[in-house]
Amino acid sequence: MDTTVNTRVVELVAAKAELPVAELGLERTFEDIGLDSLHLMEIALWMQKEYGVVIPEGDLRHDQPLGEALAYLDAKTR
Amino acid sequence: MGRAAVLTGIGSTVPEQVVTNDMLAARMDTSDEWIRSRTGIRERRRVGVGTATSDLAVEAGRRALKSAGVESVDALVLATTTPDHPCPATAPTVASGLGLGPIPAFDVAAVCSGFLYAMATAAGLISLGTADRVLVVGAEAFTTIIDPDDRNTAPIFGDGAGAVVLTAGHQSDRGALLAFDLGADGDLADLIVVPAGGSRQRTSGVEPGPTDHFMKMQGRTVFVNAVNRMTESSRTVLRRTGWDPGSVDWLVGHQANVRILHAVADQLDLPGERAFVNVDSVGNTAAASIPLALDDAARAGRLAPGDRVVLTAFGGGATWGAITLEWPDLAAL
């Protein structure tokens, strides 16, 4: 994974998928790694709690490449 | 110390008919894996032919009165979304069925938050001195408003009833309801709605469609609102009680979905295992959910006297609420 992305966000996504971080893959989608629509809401709720940011519904999509989604979440944490 | 409502008895019941995930998968495009991973539900109960909400309520009420060791109360408050009839209220039928005499009896409608609203209402009757003892029942034949072919709702909801006896006492008594928080937001009325059967549809001049008597739910929006409102409401009652969130022994949330319960625990920084779960075996029983969960937890010996308990719910309306209490030493039968 891109080491410049917030590692807590990467670790959260890996934990939700029950996969090692190394197996996430930037081109894989949330769906590819086994996350459903509720997981995406759980990630949004975690971002709200940990960073005080709102992730609008629809900003995270199950067919989104992880590279794009993680970059988006990373930007939100800064 | 002021007069307080103290929990002195509890009871519950579920109908005999079990509906498994595989039974649902045989009828619609779903699977046991899909339902369990998204809701945590393995099975739910459904009322049989001829069983109405009041029948479940009477049985739960009878068990709660026995648990409290009493045969009479001064009032009965019933929380339900699925009354026996649109008119009259179901509570008087329940009071008669229990042989409680001509006591005041009325329904409270706040869908899945209904039981907490009913507890607060009963506690109000006690604190005013209008009643010394109140039977509070949450009962639902909820599957009667569920479209059996709707894969978004049919796997989630089930039927059942739970009841508690509240008795006048003091804030320092174990079992006293210590703090309340209730809220509502009518702008979210469309999140959980039965379109037909009320004055809005009846005066619309439009005949109801074939599924308009069934509940529609916007699941994703409900998920986020439920987690946020249950978390905020729990924090409010914790602050009012003077409890640190980490000191909570049991979070007994409305049993909507195991992932909502764990998300609320996570937001409160509570380990997931402190969120009591029985949604796996009964599904979401709306207003019956919290007393059913409490009775299951008590009968399983999970709730010990003195445990710090937070009750919280979110439901149609939208409505939400939370209550704190220390679990009393009572007979769970």
The interface predicted TM-score (ipTM) is: 0.83
CB contact under 8 A, B227 and A45: yes
pTM: 0.94
A4-13, B201-210, B280-289, B293-302, range with the lowest pLDDT = A4-13
What's the mean pLDDT in B213-231? 95
State the average pLDDT over residues B111-123. Answer: 98
Please compute the mean of the pLDDT values over residues B36-50 and round it to a whole number: 96
Confidence band, pLDDT 50/70/90 cuts, at residue A25:
confident
Query: What pLDDT does residue B296 have?
Result: 97
| Active-site residue flag, B262 | no
Q: What is the CATH classification number for the domain harbouring B110?
A: 3.40.47.10
B161 and B119 co-located in one domain: yes
| Short-list B79, B85, B64, CA closest to B122 | B79
Average predicted confidence (pLDDT) for chain B: 96
The number of residues making up chain B comes to 333
Any idea what the CATH number is for the domain that residue A33 is in? 1.10.1200.10
- The CA distances from residue B122 to B129, B288, B314, in Å, are 11, 16, 19
Q: What is the mean pLDDT of residues B18-25?
A: 97
CA distance B19 to chain A (A): 24
Q: pLDDT, tens digit, for every residue of B177-199?
A: 999 999 999 999 999 999 999 99
Contacts with B266 from chain A: Cβ below 8 Å: 45-46, 49
Per the domain annotation, does A1 fall within a domain?
Answer: no
What percent of chain B clears pLDDT 70, i.e. is strictly above it? Answer: 100
On chain A, the residues whose CB falls within 8 A of the CB of B221 are 57
Residue B112: active-site member: yes
In a domain, A48, yes or no: yes
B276 and B142 co-located in one domain: no
State whether B165 and B205 are in the same domain.
no
Q: Which of A38, A46, A49 sits opposite B223 (nearest CB)?
A: A38
Which ranges constitute the DSSP H helices of B40-111? Answer: 53-68, 91-97
Query: Is residue A58 very low, low, confident or very high in pLDDT (cuts 50, 70, 90)?
Result: confident
Q: How many domains does chain B have?
A: 2
Helix (H) or strand (E) holding B139: strand B133-140
- Whether B14 and B134 share a structural domain: yes
- The residues on A that touch B, with CB distances below 8 Å, are 36-38, 41-42, 44-46, 49, 57
Q: What is the structure's pLDDT at A3?
A: 52
Tell which residue, B102, B56, B46, has the closest CA to residue B79.
B56
**Domain end position, chosen among B135, B170, B205:** B170
Cα–Cα distance between A23 and A14 in angstroms, integer?
8
**Cβ B224–A46 below 8 Å, yes or no?**
no
Neighbour count for residue B144 (Cβ, 10 Å): 17
Locate the chain B residue with the closest alpha carbon to A47. B267
Instruction: Report the DSSP beta bridge partners of residue B164.
Output: B10, B136
Of A37, A46, A49, the CB nearest to B220: A37
Q: Decide if A29 is inside a domain.
A: yes
Q: Please state, in angstroms and as integers, the Cα–Cα distance from residue B268 to each residue in A50, B228, B235, B320, following that order.
A: 12, 10, 8, 16
Pair (B201, B161) in one structural domain: no
Instruction: Answer yes or no: are the C-beta atoms of B112 and B256 closer than 8 Å.
Output: yes
Three-state secondary-structure class, residue B217:
strand
A2, part of any domain: no
B87 is catalytic: no
**Which residues of chain A lie closer than 8 angstroms to B37, CB-CB?**
36
Res B331: pLDDT: 86
The domain of A59 spans 7-77
Q: Name the minimum distance, in Å, from the CA of B263 to any CA of chain A.
A: 7
Q: Residue B190 — φ and ψ, nearest 5°?
A: -75, -10
> For residue A49, is it within any domain?
yes
Chain B: closest CA distance from residue A37 (Å):
8
Verify that B160 and B196 share a domain, yes or no. Answer: no
Residue B331 lies in a domain: no
- pLDDT in the model for residue A4: 67
Considering the domain boundaries, does residue B266 fall inside one? yes
Boundary residue ending a domain (B170, B194, B211): B170
How many CB atoms within 10 Å of residue B59?
20
Q: Is the pLDDT of residue B1 over 70?
A: no
Among B153, B170, B187, the domain-final residue is: B170
Give the residue from B229, B259, B269, B314 with the most A CB atoms within 10 Å of its CB, the best one to mutate.
B259
Cβ pair A57:B221 closer than 8 A: yes
Domain that holds residue B49: 3-170
- Answer whether residue A60 is part of any domain: yes
Q: Give the CA dihedral B77, B82, B85, B88, nearest 10 degrees.
A: 20
Q: Which helix (H) or strand (E) holds B162?
A: strand B160-170
**Are B143 and B259 in the same domain?**
no
Question: At residue B138, what is the residue type?
Answer: G
Same domain, B25 and B163: yes
Domain check: are B15 and B155 in the same one?
yes
CB-based contact B123:B325 (threshold 8 Å) = no
pLDDT above 60 (res B235): yes
Q: What is the tally of structural domains in chain A?
A: 1
Tell me: pLDDT of A2 over 80. no
